[in-house]
A and B are shown apart, each in its own frame.
Chain A
Amino acid sequence: MTNVKMKVNGKAVAREVPDETLLSEFLRENLRLTGTHIGCDTSQCGACVVHVNGKVVKACTTLAVSLEGAEITTIEGLANGDLHPMQVAFNDNHGLQCGFCTPGMIMAGVDMVTRYKAEGRELTPEAIRQELEGNICRCTGYHNIVKSIQDAATRM
């Protein structure tokens, strides 16, 4: 057991957990932040994507104890009073159906828009599709997810 301390969605948290606890488990079971989903066992589907110190991480393949002192943002922490422009864009563009992959898609979308903007690169639809390589959606055919991220990029 290890006492893990980190900052999740701006709040300091500390929990005593077994060393093998994954970040996804830590968020879902210990903190009861169930917006981070688990859709596979092999780090392929991206339903568990969160931000760790500003970078995207698949929570299902990260040990909680390795993140001592880290700052984590989950889907629950994205809206700051108002919804985040990415959340609004997903609603406006019908970028979700069953909603299960959506938290991961939104977290990945926020990250890619931020990165491309910082690097001064244009986030084309082709680039969005390539960037979504690690996120699977079974409902939407990606059409409206790509449009949502494109749309959000103009608002962020």
Chain B
Amino acid sequence: MSSGIGKSVKRKEDKRFTTGKGRYTDDHRMDNQAYAAFVRSPHAHARVKSIDAAAARAMEGVIDVLDGHQLTGDGIGNIICGWAITSKDGSPMNMGAWSALATEKVRYVGDAVAVVIAETQSQARIAAEAVEVDYEELPVVAHVADAMKDGAVQIHDNAPGNQIYDWELGDEAATDAGLKAAAHVTTLDITNNRLSPNPMEPRAAIATYDDAEEHYTLYTTSQNPHVARLVLSAFYNVAPEHKLRVIAPDVGGGFGAKIYIYPEEITCLWASMKTNRSVKWTSDRSEAFLTDAHGRDHVTHAQMGFDKDGKITGFKVDTIANLGAYMSLFSSSVPTYLYAPLMSGQYDIQNIHCNVRAIYTNTAPVDAYRGAGRPEATYLVERMMESAAREMDMDPAELRRRNFIHEFPHQTPVLMQYDAGDFPKILELAQEAADVAGFPARRAEAEKRGKLRGLGYSTFIEACGLAPSKAAGSLGAGVGLWESAEVRVNPVGTIEILTGSHSHGQGHETTFAQIVADRFDIPVETVQIVHGDTDKVQFGMGTYGSRSAPVGMSAVVKAMDKVEAKVRKIAAHTLEASEDDIVIEGGQVKVAGTDKAMAWHEVGLAAYVAHNLPDGMEPGLKETAFFDPVNFSFPSGAFICEVEVDPDTGQTKIIKFTSADDFGTIINPMIVEGQVHGGVTQGIGQALLEQVIYDEDGQLLTGSYMDYTMPRAADVPFFDVQHHETPSPNNPLGVKGCGEAGAIGAPPAVINAITDAIGTNDLAMPATPQAVWRALRAASKPIAAE
């Protein structure tokens, strides 16, 4: 059929977005709406001595000015991190208190100390400026190296040495032995640059309190409205869950930044009760740079040993992760369970040890950003492989091939059991598409023009669809990692799918409809996806970690199984046939081999009029299912990047970027390729352009698009996306998830290509023209004249 699984169905949701009818949070306006503006610390570390809001209160339009003492006084709880990590000495992680409005201390530039509620946004902002906060400045540690020094100022009283945890995974003794036995050891010191996720829609919230019902409604830019409601209710004491409705309407991109529950939403909810007004807050871009959780920011020392044939004998990793001033919702899991278990890559490595220390600094909180831990692991593993190949004078593709895993399932020494894949095949696919055979000629031609060509590989694996809940729970997760779905067949035969997954660019309204259309052989137009509203949809976990397809869609499939079973019973009863002979196709429910049939909608109607149902059957045609996968899914990919560097300017141009991905079963190739394009571009952004910079005083120096370089259209080429499908055995559709692959796999491919071009491995991200030029100069012999 034309709209089923595997077809590039055009997106159903596009019309509202292309005509300006999308409804994002800031597009909504409530009756009786007031505006919030936050008073934020300009200091990275300071004691709050006093707050004088008298002048602000007297200003035109100001309704109230509220501070952290009032907030905590009303019982609003501290913001928590939902994944408990235990240090290797058995001690729990040192989580410092984080109040939505700071009371005693501010710990990063942008930390909110008060909120002004006023009639208009501009009145609120002007009055926020008039709030006088008396700060006593404290010494600042803006970078991990400073935070870890002896005698460094302590950011949280309960985190000595500013250390949150010191955690390890793997067998250190075996790994040391593996390294000792190696014929060659490659050593790398690597920084994974700090990034700002930058969804184009800034965060926003509108909170409304109904004093008669003691009920709250929150419109917010969330990837997971149910999780937001749960956390707001259970931990922040805003309201019990049944008195709180969270709506995430159209959301303009997330990339991780909109998973977490931030101080602003909590404050708006509370302020709506305090002022009995709807309270709206919309971040501007500067605020987004200051307060949206950042991503990455690792410093790593690693060694990988090889035997004389190039087989890996051991891989030892020591990482320091900067988590910023407070622990954001999933921050602790990113450099641990989303990072270390990926250290085996696509390779058969018997000995792996990974140690991670997480450190507080006076910077914005750091949490998951597209890929979350997996890009950091992949960057390390893949730069390691490429560096080792060069040091051992081997073809980098050949070194990878010698270490590839061939049999599945494969158990690594770092927790993971890989489900399915064909790593040699995707590498071959990528090499053909990238015309690797023709590269030497292209390099020679470029050289004639005075340009340096390079080719870089990244063959990577990721773990998507975080699972299973039981395992995650045993590793410290505070939530389950299943997903829910409800399939409602209406009396007229149209279908509504209620899913806990949330679409904010991924195209669920199309792809989720496709799997339903495929299953019941009905037009995709007759299927509607409902999501993003806790009053409409049963509890769900939301969208992150490329989980919507492997987990969210699987829940829909489970619910469809139940619907189908009932449809068969009704049809068999009505048509006087055996359930086993019922087939669903072409918009009909038929008895195989006969001309007896009911139209699809007639079955729906029969279920609801209930005039003639089998004895004991309940009326209606609506089923709910929860799906908890038995394991992660493991998408894999082979990326090849070809660059040309201008040695005079250090400018890198990406000539060709080829990806060969194994996402398992593909529902909609057009949408999957779009995810790859976007992910790869964010990876190229990390490799070439992007970096959040704090100066030594903890001042954010990259607070706008004039200073933080986003990839623009001219920075990237067209992409060549190839597919190879090895279905995952861990879910009914065989899907693996595709949202993060590009961002995970691209950075090492780009940097491996540049380092290949310039002939030195001493290059850090972002490889700006200046950085490349300097690396080139440092690598070449000193020029006598200088």
Residues of A whose CB lies within 8 Å of any CB of B are 18, 20, 28, 32-42, 44-45, 47, 74-76, 78-79, 83, 87, 90-92, 94, 96-103, 106, 125-126, 128-130, 132-133, 135-146
B15: A residues at CB distance < 8 A: 83, 91
Chain A contact surface mostly:
loop
B507: A residues at CB distance < 8 A: 97
From known contacts A91-B10, A141-B719, infer whether A36 and B20 are also in contact, taking CB-CB under 8 Å: yes
CA distance A139 to B251 in the complex (A): 12
Q: How many residues of B contact A (CB 8 A)?
A: 57
Closest to A104 in B: B200
Assess whether B24 is in contact with A100, with CB atoms less than 8 Å apart.
Answer: yes
Q: Provide a sorted-by-A list of 7 A–B residue pairs whose CB atoms are within 8 angstroms.
A: A97-B253, A97-B505, A126-B714, A129-B712, A132-B712, A143-B716, A144-B677
Task: Report the minimum CB–CB distance from A87 to chain B (whole Å).
Answer: 4
B588 within 8 A of A: no
Assess whether B713 is in contact with A142, with CB atoms less than 8 Å apart.
Answer: yes
Assess whether B22 is in contact with A45, with CB atoms less than 8 Å apart.
Answer: no
Closest to B282 in A: A38
Q: Mark B668-709, 1 if CB is under 8 A from A, else 0.
A: 001101100111111000000000000000000000111000
B706: A residues at CB distance < 8 A: 42, 44
Task: Report the minimum CB–CB distance from A107 to chain B (whole Å).
Answer: 10
Closest to A91 in B: B14
B774: A residues at CB distance < 8 A: none
Task: Report the minimum CB–CB distance from B356 to chain A (whole Å).
Answer: 29
B327: A residues at CB distance < 8 A: none
Assess whether B713 is in contact with A129, with CB atoms less than 8 Å apart.
Answer: yes
Assess whether B681 is in contact with A98, with CB atoms less than 8 Å apart.
Answer: no
Of B27, B201, B682, chain A has the most CB atoms within 10 Å of the CB of B201
Q: Mark B707-732, 1 if CB is under 8 A from A, else 0.
A: 00011111010110000000000000
Assess whether B199 is in contact with A138, with CB atoms less than 8 Å apart.
Answer: yes
B425 within 8 A of A: no
B442 within 8 A of A: no
B198: A residues at CB distance < 8 A: 138
B13: A residues at CB distance < 8 A: 99
Q: Mark B245-256, 1 if CB is under 8 A from A, else 0.
A: 000001111010
B601 within 8 A of A: no
Partner among A39, A47, A128, A141 whose Cβ is within 8 Å of the Cβ of B681: A141
Q: A83-B19, A96-B18, A102-B22 provided; 17 other pairs, C-beta below 8 A?
A: A35-B22, A37-B201, A39-B201, A44-B704, A45-B200, A76-B20, A83-B15, A94-B671, A97-B507, A97-B674, A98-B253, A99-B18, A126-B714, A138-B200, A142-B712, A143-B677, A144-B674
Within 8 A of A (CB), among B386-430: none
CA distance A39 to B289 in the complex (A): 12
CA distance A130 to B677 in the complex (A): 18
Task: Report the minimum CB–CB distance from A73 to chain B (whole Å).
Answer: 11
Task: Report the minimum CB–CB distance from B11 to chain A (whole Å).
Answer: 7
